[in-house]
Amino acid sequence: MPSTGTPEPGGLGWYQTLEILRKAIHGRNIVGMDIVELAPDKVNHYSQFTAAKLLYKMLAYVSEEAL
């Protein structure tokens, strides 16, 4: 995502990130999580949307584990 405090060229892709998070959450009791380094841009809102979608996915993975 371009709107971060420290962008990393060639960083993780969307599906790679989701797979890492799914594996990290699996079998654990998650009690808190945070998304950091988002530096909102007034022109391009896709970074904020991506961060919100990532949080939504993380919540879904945590709720799957609770079942």
Angle between helices 46-66 and 14-25 (to 10 degrees): 30
What is the amino acid identity at position 26? H
Is residue 48 within 8 A of residue 3, CB to CB? The reply is: yes
Query: The pTM is what?
Result: 0.82
Return per-residue pLDDT of the chain as tens, 67 residues.
788 888 888 888 999 999 999 999 999 998 999 989 888 888 888 889 999 999 999 999 999 887 7
HSE toward the beta carbon, residue 57, CA cutoff 13 A = 17
